[in-house]
């Protein structure tokens, strides 16, 4: 299981008001009231704060999880690409 730490690369899936993008967790703070808040700085300068437990370590190709690790996104697309490569070849031949 992937551990969410400071320095973890994040993909933000976006929403109606905010563009998607990549960023980095710059700090994680814990307290007696919270298991961890992640402070994320996006590559374009935007800043977000979310709970660590709200950051997905599995990506399913949609925005069901707003924040997900880049490693999870890469694993998803790699599996999709491999599945495509293993499909029987299709041709445009007519009978």
Tell me, what's the pLDDT at 10? 97
Tell me, what's the pLDDT at 91? 41
**Is there a domain that residue 39 lies in?**
yes
Tell me, what's the pLDDT at 14? 92
Tell me, what's the pLDDT at 89? 64
Structural domain including 81 reads: 9-85
* CATH code: domain of residue 77: 2.30.30
- Tally of domains within the chain: 1
pTM: 0.79
**Is there a domain that residue 35 lies in?**
yes
Whether 63 and 54 have beta carbons less than 8 Å apart is answered as: no
pLDDT digits (tens, 9 = 90+) for 8-54: 999 999 988 999 999 999 999 988 888 799 999 999 999 999 999 99
**Is there a domain that residue 31 lies in?**
yes
87: left (phi over 0), alpha (psi -120 to 50) or beta: beta
């Amino acid at each position: 299981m992937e551990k969410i730490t400071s320095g973890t690369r994040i993909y933000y899936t976006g929403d109606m008001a905010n563009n998607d993008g990549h960023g980095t967790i710059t700090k994680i703070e814990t307290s007696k009231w919270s298991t961890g808040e992640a402070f994320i700085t996006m590559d374009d300068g935007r800043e977000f704060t979310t709970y660590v437990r709200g950051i997905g370590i599995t990506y399913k190709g949609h925005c069901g999880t707003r924040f997900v690790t880049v490693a999870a996104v890469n694993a998803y697309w790699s599996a999709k690409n491999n599945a495509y490569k293993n499909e029987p070849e299709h041709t445009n031949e007519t009978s």
